[in-house]
Amino acid sequence: MRIAIASGKGGTGKTTVSVHLAWALAQHHPVQYVDCDVEEPNGHLFLKPEIETQTPVSMPVPQVNPDLCTHCGECSAICAFGAIVATPSLTLTFPELCHGCGGCSQVCPTGAISEVDRTTGVVETGYALAGEPGTGQVAISFLQGRLHVGEAMSPPVIRALKSHIDPDALAILDLPPGTSCPATTALRGVDRALLVAEPTPFGLHDLTLAVEMVRTLGIPFAVVVNRAGLGDNRVEEFCAREGIPIWARLPHDRRVAEAYARGQLRAVPAEIQETLAELAQRLLTEVRP
């Protein structure tokens, strides 16, 4: 079973919710924590995992054989991303712009274009410990993708990361923010999404976009209001009007920010941990693949 923790806006608390949910769920069921925010993975700061495997992620990019190329420009005409440019004497490739579709090699009339692998990121797996030391700790399976610095295309790394998810485990996917390719790539195939939202006008704006995204993808979802008490009542009103269930309200509390800034797991106030544990129970009882 796969549960995605998503948000339209960055910084709403996806990782805080994800790592605490993984921790709470691990007491009942084998859990995989999957950090899909491959541009800036940060779950490791809280779970402090032992990394055991690293698998490079590569994508196919064109290579032009200058002996066969006639600089006809068919390749650049089909490329929507400006990743290949034909000049009268030289055909240039820009691998960092390439989406790996292979169109250029298909249309090349002289067979001058072959595809070569280019490494753009890495998938790392390992484990983290959950539970109080001395009273029976359990392991959380830990997965994260990392896009190499300077690369623009995160979906191939996210897809490679997701191929490592154990179908029998309960997977918590900590998503990248937003509603564009990285978020939708991570969302595909999940059984439920939790949209973390702040009760502010900006939070409502981005929640509205996130709701549109999960509805378009046909994924059942609920909202978690984080920093409740801040801002105004419009997120609550929006959810009531749209018939969207709110599964948890985490109060605005300076101590949560302090724990986050220190990279501390389980340092948030007890009542918030309790709310997150209840949310974990609700996921276990209400969500079925």
178 binds another protein (CB under 8 A): yes
Name the token pair of 101. 């579709």
Site membership for another protein, residue 75 (CB under 8 A) = no
**C-beta of residue 157 within 8 angstroms of C-beta of residue 146:** yes
Nearer to another protein, 41 or 126 (CB): 41
Across-strand partners of 126? 51, 142
Residue 172's region, left for phi above 0, alpha for psi from -120 to 50, else beta, is beta
C-alpha angle 271/234/284, rounded to 5°? 45
Answer for which of 15, 32, 76, 226 binds another protein (CB under 8 A) is 76
* Contacts of 44 by beta carbon, 8 Å cutoff, 6+ apart: 35, 142, 144
Q: Could you tell me the smallest distance in angstroms from the CB atom of residue 27 to another protein? A: 33
Question: Residue 198, interface with another protein (CB under 8 A)?
Answer: no
Per-residue b/e over 192-210, b at no fewer than 16 CB within 10 Å?
bbbbbbbbbeebbebbbeb
Contact flag: residue 83 with another protein (CB under 8 A): yes
Q: Looking at 25-33, 42-50, 77-85, 131-139, which segment touches another protein (CB under 8 A)? A: 77-85
Of the candidate residues 24, 31, 34, 86, the single one contacting another protein (CB under 8 A): 86
- Least distance CB 78 / another protein (angstroms): 12
Q: Is 18 in the site for another protein (CB under 8 A)?
A: no
User: Phi then psi for 282, rounded to 5 degrees?
Assistant: -65, -40
Contact between 218 and 29 under an 8 Å Cβ cutoff? The reply is: no
Question: Who contacts 28 (Cβ-Cβ below 8 Å, separation ≥6)?
Answer: 280, 284
Per the CB < 8 A criterion, the answer to whether 111 and 45 are in contact is no
Among the listed residues 243, 232, 241, 177, the one whose alpha carbon sits nearest the alpha carbon of residue 204? 232
Please tell me whether residue 119 binds another protein under the rule CB under 8 A: no
Which is nearer to another protein, 141 or 200 (by Cβ)? 200
One of 61, 153, 222, 225 touching another protein (CB under 8 A): 153
- Interface residue with another protein among 170, 175, 183, 280 (CB under 8 A) is 183
- Give the chain's radius of gyration (CA, Å): 22
Neighbour count for residue 223 (Cβ, 10 Å): 25
Rounded CA separation 145/56 (Å): 10
Under rule CB under 8 A, residue 97 binds another protein: yes
Minimum Å gap between C-beta 243 and another protein is 26
The piece of 57-65, 84-92, 133-141, 274-282 that touches another protein (CB under 8 A) is 84-92
Using CB under 8 A, count the residues that bind another protein.
Answer: 34
35 near another protein, rule: CB under 8 A: no
Q: Does 64 bind another protein (CB under 8 A)?
A: no
Residue 88 binds another protein, judged by CB under 8 A: yes
Residues lying near another protein in the complex (CB under 8 A) are found at 9-10, 39-40, 73, 76, 79-83, 85-90, 92, 94, 97, 151-155, 176-183, 206
